[in-house]
């Protein structure tokens, strides 16, 4: 039941066994597997295995003309091969792609990386292939920030988009909430009770500098970065109930956008920067609304169900995903066309809750929190509801994921 | 149940000293070595052995320097807790005696007052004060009017259903409506502070209606 645009066909691609010194065999297998997983997840490539078309995988070397012809006959469009070596205390991956029809080499690049960044070599190769064959930026090097209570306290964590390399980012020993990547992935905004009051912080990943952006008495929460990264929309209860404000990254230019006695919160910018989706209970229960970035032209987006919250505007602009409560009173992930013309349920019904959607740069995949395994875990899913994938499985609660756009 | 105002003046002060010392010692034990992300990765299927070794140093630039600062101050406080001077010991004894006397006095006074309720509960997605909470809050208001030196903080909480951010706003609504109720019964606004924890600090974690109800609460902390 895969929903594909008519005429769209995945690109049949085959990974040839990687070459390199025998002592690097283990690393070569890891690289092949990471690349295979990346390409499958991209939804752009259809992977064909050498054994399925009777090509020997015993002698890793650049594919010769006989292999090319055999692969072309079996319908394989592209062959991918790489050779791993070491150089200056690091890795170097000579990476190639060939089109079988003419036997042309279409990608040839040396990818360098530190000894501890092996998986990253495969991610970069994958993104090169995606860019070459689709003209679109890949997401294999993207990262996910989220909250985990693994240490006993709710701290901000960061992991690769496939769940590898999990690491704790904050050591506040307090409660951290809603970490959000800036669009260039150089900063993370989040709320922490580290000084008692729930204040809004921004941390620069390069310098390590942390600064308080909003510390009004009451809640300062649910940040969303403007596409240019110079401004954040967030909610604060300083006026007696939650209202949405804009603030410049340097702390100046505080500007109130919503004015009513209901709660307005969880803003999410459109990729154009012209509009903001948000949650409001001005109509009774919480629903998703859209306004212009100056607070004008407010209109309601969602009408199904009596509880719809935490909107996430797709980086492609076409969809707004959110947590929707169904008839069984369970939260699921839904999405509406941003013009309101279509509404779909993405996650299946069942006796658990799904919430906190966040999009991949390509606008085809989302990550979210789910309680289907008992504790909350982070999962990814294709917009059409297929390709469900679990990204965290430790015994802690892992929640509120934010997917970087680079 | 809280017994009286004077108890909080001196009793709490010495308790706070002990508590602070205890917390710091506790923290010192909990500090994990820098680069503790290794243990995190190993629990996950998706991270192979190769990936966990990457975790140690691959992105270590992300971790902030304030880890080290925290460890430094922990060590200091530990030393302070151990080495109590004779004067301090005498001071502690005197405070304990004083506290016992005041507790007796407070008991006499408390006999005529209603119990101070620590929690009032709410319906799902609601912040209106329920019938059962009205009696409790009326009692708390009487208690607060009788104990004029006491300040309270109201924590607003929610159950785990619903989304985290919406529940933060909901928790604050619960705290605010509880405060308003007490103010209408004559408690001065300046004596009541509040904070919302949403669903971030549950009293229990079970996925049952019993636990959900326990978490949909306004919780009083006497200060």
Residue B205 banded pLDDT, cuts 50, 70, 90: very high
How large is the greatest C-alpha to C-alpha distance in chain B, in angstroms? Answer: 68
Residue B193 banded pLDDT, cuts 50, 70, 90: very high
The domain spans of chain A are 11-134, 143-403
Beta sheet of A319-325, edge-to-edge order = A308-313, A319-325, A331-337, A343-345
Q: Are B176 and B159 in contact (CB under 8 A)?
A: no
Q: What is the CA radius of gyration of chain A?
A: 23
Q: Which string of DSSP letters, residue by residue, matches A286-344?
A: -EEEEEETTS-S-EE---SSS-EEEEEE-TTSSEEEEEEE-TTS-EEEEEEETTSS-EE
The answer to whether A118 contacts chain B (CB < 8 Å) is yes
Contacts of A118 in chain B (CB under 8 A): 50, 54
Distance CA A269, CA A291 (A): 10
Q: How far is CA A257 from the centre of its chain?
A: 28
pTM higher than 0.90, yes or no?
A: no
The answer to whether B47 contacts chain A (CB < 8 Å) is yes
Q: Which residue of B has its CA nearest to A113?
A: B58
Distance CA B49, CA B62 (A): 21
Q: Is A268 exposed, middle or buried (0-12, 13-18, 19+ CB in 10 A)?
A: buried
Asked whether the beta carbons of residue B61 and residue A165 sit closer than 8 angstroms, the reply is no
- CA B222 to chain A, closest CA, distance in angstroms equals 16
ipTM of the complex: 0.94
Distance CA B169, CA B54 (A): 39
Q: What is the torsion angle, in degrees rounded to the nearest 10, for the CA atoms of residue B205, residue A147, residue A313 and residue A246?
A: 110
Q: Beta strand A210-214 with A197-204: parallel, antiparallel or unpaired?
A: antiparallel
Distance CA A289, CA A349 (A): 24
User: Helices A25-41 and A118-134: crossing angle, nearest 10°?
Assistant: 40
The answer to whether A399 contacts chain B (CB < 8 Å) is yes
Contacts of A329 in chain B (CB under 8 A): 161
Report the pLDDT value the prediction gives residue A61, as an integer from 0 to 100: 80
Q: Which residue of A has its CA nearest to B66?
A: A171
Residue B75 banded pLDDT, cuts 50, 70, 90: very low
Q: Are B171 and B133 in contact (CB under 8 A)?
A: no
Q: Which string of DSSP letters, residue by residue, matches A35-90?
A: HHHHHHHTTSEEEE-GGGGT---SS-SS--HHHHHHHHHTT--EEEEEEEEEETTE
pLDDT surpassing 60 at residue B154: yes
DSSP state of A141: T
Instruction: Flag residues of chain A having pLDDT under 70.
Output: 1-8, 59
Q: Give the nearest partner residue to A394 out of B43, B60, B65, using CB atoms.
A: B43
Q: What is the pLDDT of residues A302-356, one digit of tens each?
A: 999 999 999 999 999 999 999 999 999 999 999 999 999 999 999 999 999 999 9
Q: Which residue of B has its CA nearest to A167?
A: B37
Lowest-confidence pick of A52-56, A67-71, B45-49, B184-188 = B45-49
Helix (H) or strand (E) holding B119: strand B119-121
Asked whether the beta carbons of residue B172 and residue A218 sit closer than 8 angstroms, the reply is yes
Q: Beta strand A19-20 with A78-87: parallel, antiparallel or unpaired?
A: parallel
The answer to whether B61 contacts chain A (CB < 8 Å) is yes
pLDDT surpassing 50 at residue B35: no
Distance CA A58, CA A60 (A): 6
Instruction: Tell the CATH topology of A11-134.
Output: Rossmann fold (3.40.50)
Question: b or e along A216-232 (b: 16 or more beta carbons within 10 Å of the residue's beta carbon)?
Answer: bebbbbbbbbbbeeebb
Report the pLDDT value the prediction gives residue B100, as an integer from 0 to 100: 79
The domain spans of chain B are 10-107, 114-222
Asked whether the beta carbons of residue A307 and residue B70 sit closer than 8 angstroms, the reply is no
> In chain A, which among 23-62 make CB contacts under 8 A with chain B?
26-27, 30
Report the pLDDT value the prediction gives residue B83, as an integer from 0 to 100: 59
Asked whether the beta carbons of residue B164 and residue A392 sit closer than 8 angstroms, the reply is no
The answer to whether B159 contacts chain A (CB < 8 Å) is no
The answer to whether A310 contacts chain B (CB < 8 Å) is yes
Q: So what's the architecture of B114-222 in CATH?
A: 2-Layer Sandwich (3.30)
Q: Is A243 helix (H, G, I), strand (E, B) or coil?
A: strand
Distance CA B44, CA A276 (A): 36
Q: Is it true that domain A143-403 has CATH number 3.10.129.10?
A: no
Average pLDDT, chain B: 72
Distance CA A107, CA A149 (A): 43
Q: Beta strand A343-345 with A331-337: parallel, antiparallel or unpaired?
A: antiparallel
Report the pLDDT value the prediction gives residue B102, as an integer from 0 to 100: 72
The answer to whether B57 contacts chain A (CB < 8 Å) is yes
Contacts of A186 in chain B (CB under 8 A): none
Average pLDDT, chain A: 95
Lowest-confidence pick of A53-57, B25-29, B140-144, B219-223 = B25-29
Report the pLDDT value the prediction gives residue A159, as an integer from 0 to 100: 98
> In chain A, which among 9-28 make CB contacts under 8 A with chain B?
26-27
Q: Is A268 helix (H, G, I), strand (E, B) or coil?
A: strand
Residue B96 banded pLDDT, cuts 50, 70, 90: confident
Lowest-confidence pick of A153-167, B51-65, B209-223 = B51-65
Q: What is the torsion angle, in degrees rounded to the nearest 10, for the CA atoms of residue B46, residue B161, residue B208 and residue A349?
A: -60
Q: Give the nearest partner residue to B64 out of A26, A117, A208, using CB atoms.
A: A208
Distance CA A253, CA A373 (A): 44
Q: Beta strand A275-280 with A264-269: parallel, antiparallel or unpaired?
A: antiparallel
Q: How far is CA B158 from the centre of its chain?
A: 15
């Amino acid at each position: 039941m895969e929903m594909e645009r008519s005429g769209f066909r995945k690109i049949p691609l085959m990974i040839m066994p990687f070459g390199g010194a025998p002592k690097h065999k283990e690393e070569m297998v890891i690289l092949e597997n990471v690349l295979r997983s990346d390409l499958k997840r991209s939804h752009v490539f259809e992977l064909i295995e050498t054994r399925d078309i009777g090509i020997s995988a015993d002698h890793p070397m650049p594919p010769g003309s006989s292999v090319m012809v055999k692969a072309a006959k079996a319908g394989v469009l592209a062959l991918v091969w790489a050779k791993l070596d070491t150089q200056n205390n690091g890795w170097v991956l000579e990476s190639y792609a060939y089109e079988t029809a003419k036997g042309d080499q279409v990608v040839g690049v040396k990818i360098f990386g530190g000894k501890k960044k092996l998986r990253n070599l495969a991610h970069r190769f994958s993104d090169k292939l995606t860019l070459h064959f689709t003209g679109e930026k890949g997401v294999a090097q993207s990262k996910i920030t989220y909250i985990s209570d693994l240490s006993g306290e709710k701290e901000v964590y960061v992991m690769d988009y496939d769940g590898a390399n999990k690491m704790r980012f904050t050591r506040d020993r307090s409660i951290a909430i809603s970490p959000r990547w800036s669009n260039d992935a150089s900063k993370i905004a989040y709320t922490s009770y580290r000084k008692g009051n729930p204040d809004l912080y921004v941390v620069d990943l390069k310098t390590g500098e942390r600064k308080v952006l909003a510390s009004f008495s009451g809640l300062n929460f649910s940040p969303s970065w403007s596409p240019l990264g110079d401004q954040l929309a967030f909610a604060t209860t300083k006026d007696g109930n939650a209202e949405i404000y804009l603030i410049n990254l340097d702390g100046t230019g505080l500007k109130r956008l919503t004015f009513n006695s209901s709660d307005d919160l969880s803003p999410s910018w459109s990729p154009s920067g012209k509009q903001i989706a948000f949650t409001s209970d001005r109509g009774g229960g919480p629903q998703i609304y859209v306004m212009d970035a100056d607070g004008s032209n407010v209109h309601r987006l969602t009408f199904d169900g009596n509880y719809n919250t935490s909107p996430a505007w797709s980086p492609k602009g076409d969809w707004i995903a959110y947590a929707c409560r169904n008839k069984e009173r369970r939260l699921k992930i839904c999405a509406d066309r941003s013009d309101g013309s279509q509404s779909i349920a993405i996650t299946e019904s069942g006796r658990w809750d799904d919430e906190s959607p966040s999009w991949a740069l390509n606008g085809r995949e989302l990550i979210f929190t789910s309680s289907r395994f008992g504790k909350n875990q982070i999962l990814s899913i294709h917009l059409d509801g297929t390709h469900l994938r679990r990204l965290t499985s430790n015994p802690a609660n892992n929640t509120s994921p934010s997917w970087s756009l680079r | 149940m809280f017994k009286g105002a004077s108890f909080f003046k001196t009793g709490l002060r010495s308790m706070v000293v002990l508590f602070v010392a205890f917390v710091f010692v506790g923290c010192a034990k909990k500090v994990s070595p820098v680069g503790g992300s290794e243990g995190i990765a190993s629990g996950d299927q998706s991270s192979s052995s190769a990936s966990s070794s990457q975790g140690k140093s691959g992105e270590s630039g992300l971790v902030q320097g304030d880890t080290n600062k925290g460890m430094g101050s922990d060590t200091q406080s530990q030393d302070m807790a151990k080495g109590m001077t004779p004067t301090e010991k005498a001071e502690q004894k005197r405070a304990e005696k004083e506290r016992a006397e005041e507790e007796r006095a407070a008991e006499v006074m408390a006999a005529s007052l209603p119990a101070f309720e620590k929690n009032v509960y709410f319906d799902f997605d609601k912040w209106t004060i329920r019938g059962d909470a009205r009696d409790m809050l009326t009692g708390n208001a009487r208690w607060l009017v009788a104990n004029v030196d006491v300040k309270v903080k109201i924590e607003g909480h929610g159950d785990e259903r619903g989304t985290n951010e919406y529940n933060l706003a909901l928790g604050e609504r619960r705290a605010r409506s509880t405060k308003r109720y007490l103010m209408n019964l004559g408690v001065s606004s300046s004596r009541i502070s509040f904070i919302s924890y949403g669903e971030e600090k549950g009293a229990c974690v079970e996925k049952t209606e019993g636990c959900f109800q326990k978490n949909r609460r306004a919780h009083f902390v006497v200060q």
